[in-house]
Amino acid sequence: MANGLIEESKNAYSGFYLRDTERLYKTLLHNESREQPTLLLGVTFALLDFAEKYSMKLRYTIVMETGGMKGRRKEITRKETHIILQDKLGAQNIHSEYGMTELLSQAYSKEKGLFQCPPWMKVLVRDEDDPFSLKYTGTGLLCIVDLANVYSCSFIETADVGKVYSDGSFEVLGRMDNSDIRGCNLMVE
């Protein structure tokens, strides 16, 4: 997904900055000085590491975190994460992406941690101790139906605790206790 966005931008400064935080910092300063709209997309723990090292005032950059500490940092709530990133990076709002390697679709939050799904994706909720208690609204473990997964599993139980609202939006409150650490970024060392 990120590679597609990079290619689509056709911008010489678009790219992956995996371990080159100094170059990322200089690129963001360059883009800010030119009032260039920019998307800073990163895993949560890496954005927090970056923000601690390089405090700045981003006015033309959208900061989007993709969730989780993946065992690299102490788990904190999304709200706490956003407050830290807003303070250190000077961004008005922190956007979020919610998706998984197993799914072809993602949900996005522009602000306040409320995610919206595309029309072919639906989030349901169930009680922690009853896998058959699926509901369209309420608080519990999040379960995702992704009809884009035509040739693979279209239903995923996430082990994430969340709240689903009547308009289909949802928020992620955290991970179920003692659940496995998951995520495609675990493959990157």
Residue 78 has pLDDT above 90, yes or no: no
Structure tokens at 59: 């006015």
Look-up: residue for tokens 């400064």?
13
Q: pLDDT for 25-34, tens place per residue? A: 999 999 999 9
- CA 120 to CA 47: how far, in whole Å? 30
What is the reported pLDDT for 179? Answer: 46
Rounded to an integer, the average pLDDT of 76-99 is: 91
Residue 177 has pLDDT above 60, yes or no: no
- CA 72 to CA 42: how far, in whole Å? 14
Residue 165 has pLDDT above 50, yes or no: yes
What is the reported pLDDT for 176? Answer: 60
Q: What is the pTM of this model?
A: 0.84
What is the reported pLDDT for 188? Answer: 47
What is the reported pLDDT for 70? Answer: 66
What is the reported pLDDT for 154? Answer: 86
Q: In what order do the strands lie in the sheet with 121-127?
A: 130-135, 121-127, 138-146, 155-164, 170-175
- CA 50 to CA 103: how far, in whole Å? 28
Pairing between strand 121-127 and 94-98? unpaired
